[in-house]
Amino acid sequence: MKPPLLRLENLTLGYDRHPAVHHLDIEIPAGALLAVVGPNGAGKSTLLKGIAGELRALGGHIHLNCRPRTQVAYLPQRGELDFSFPVSVFEMVAMGLWHEIGAFGRVGDEHLHRIEAALDAVGLSGFEARPIGSLSGGQMQRVRFARLILQDAPLILLDEPFAALDARTVADLMQLILAWHREGRTILTVVHDLDQVRRHFPTCLLLAREPVAFGPTAQVLTEPLLGHARRLSEAFDEEAAVCHRPEDAHADDAHAGEAHA
């Protein structure tokens, strides 16, 4: 059996000292294609932000069996994007190479070739000079996927990559995700469409401020478990303090995104 690429140990994540999601004790094996599902406000985006190192843990630990900064590719929700940023498609995609060439490094022939190949893979050859502000929502999401291709990361975190996209774009992006899975990468994707999860994602984490179920998708997406998740989410107290278990005596010294070989 493959060792876990990612292990969450009694993890609590939240904002202003209030937990948004907690009691996460989960091992995700290398090569998993995992859907993260749950009601609105269940803590799905918060979990991805924590793993991406954008949010410090309030308690517990995140153990990563890869380098946190350069080997984790994170695609935030599209609502968090500034489309008015004055860059071209080429420049936006080339940002996927920052960990190889640095912010002001020179893009060499090999890099040019890889940028062209990534744009081709997402169906945007010929769009290089277009300002990103002139793209449709679907084209912009393709550009963001091209950037992920260049990041070439073993761990990929996708937050609602299919939201508000047409069926053709969803199908094309899903094929890219499946190709990454075949290459052995580990992929966590927040998805709302449960039919899509059943079709394409072998494993699933059902969240409702805490893990409700984790495992093979058919065993997780059952009516009783989905109902339980809805009820837990509705009953959650947003103002609650971090709740420590007796074994958490040293939880406060946790560091999110900490590398752990």
Ligand X SMILES: Nc1ncnc2c1ncn2[C@@H]1O[C@H](COP(=O)(O)OP(=O)(O)OP(=O)(O)O)[C@@H](O)[C@H]1O
The nearest distance, CB 45 to ligand X, in angstroms, is: 3
Q: 135 or 221: whose CB is closer to ligand X?
A: 221
Q: With binding defined as CB under 6 A, does residue 235 bind ligand X?
A: no
Alpha-carbon distance values, 2 to 16, 51, 181, 186 (Å): 37, 20, 15, 12
- Compute the distance between CA of residue 111 and CA of residue 129 in angstroms, rounded to an integer: 17
One of 25, 183, 238, 252 touching ligand X (CB under 6 A)? 238
Q: Which is nearer to ligand X, 4 or 43 (CB)?
A: 43
CA 29, 186, 72, 152 dihedral sign is: positive
Q: Of the two residues 154 and 161, which places its CB atom closer to ligand X in the complex? A: 161
3-state secondary structure of 230: helix
List the 18-29 sheet strands across, edge first. Answer: 18-29, 4-15, 59-64
Residue 15 sits in the site that holds ligand X (CB under 6 A): yes
State the nearest-atom distance from the C-beta of 91 to ligand X, in Å: 28
Closest CA to 170 of 149, 184, 185, 189: 189
Radius of gyration of the chain (CA): 19
Which C-beta is closer to ligand X: that of 45 or that of 139?
Answer: 45
Whole-number Å distance between alpha carbons of 193 and 189: 11
Contact in structure between 38 and 55 (CB atoms under 8 Å) = no
Q: Which is nearer to ligand X, 97 or 157 (CB)?
A: 157
Contacts to ligand X from residues 21-50, by CB under 6 A: 38, 40-46
Q: Which is nearer to ligand X, 31 or 41 (CB)?
A: 41
In whole angstroms, the minimum distance from the beta carbon of 220 to ligand X comes to 16
7 binds ligand X (CB under 6 A): no
Per-residue binder mask for ligand X (CB under 6 A), 166-205, x = binder: ----------------------------------------
Taking a C-beta distance cutoff of 8 angstroms, is the pair 218, 198 a contact? yes
Asked if 206 interacts with ligand X (CB under 6 A), we say: no
For the bound state, the minimum distance from the C-beta of residue 232 to ligand X, rounded and expressed in Å, comes to 12
**Which one of residues 6, 8, 11, 20 is an interface residue with ligand X (CB under 6 A)?**
20
Residue 7 token pair: 């292990």
CB of 136 to ligand X, least distance (A): 22
Q: How far is the CB of 113 from ligand X (least distance, A)?
A: 37
Cα angle for residues 33, 35, 37 (degrees, 5° grid)? 170
Q: Cα(206)–Cα(190) distance, rounded to whole angstroms? A: 10
Which residue, 57 or 146, is less far from ligand X as judged by CB? 57
DSSP one-letter code for 259:
B
Contact footprint for ligand X (CB under 6 A): 15, 20, 38, 40-46, 238
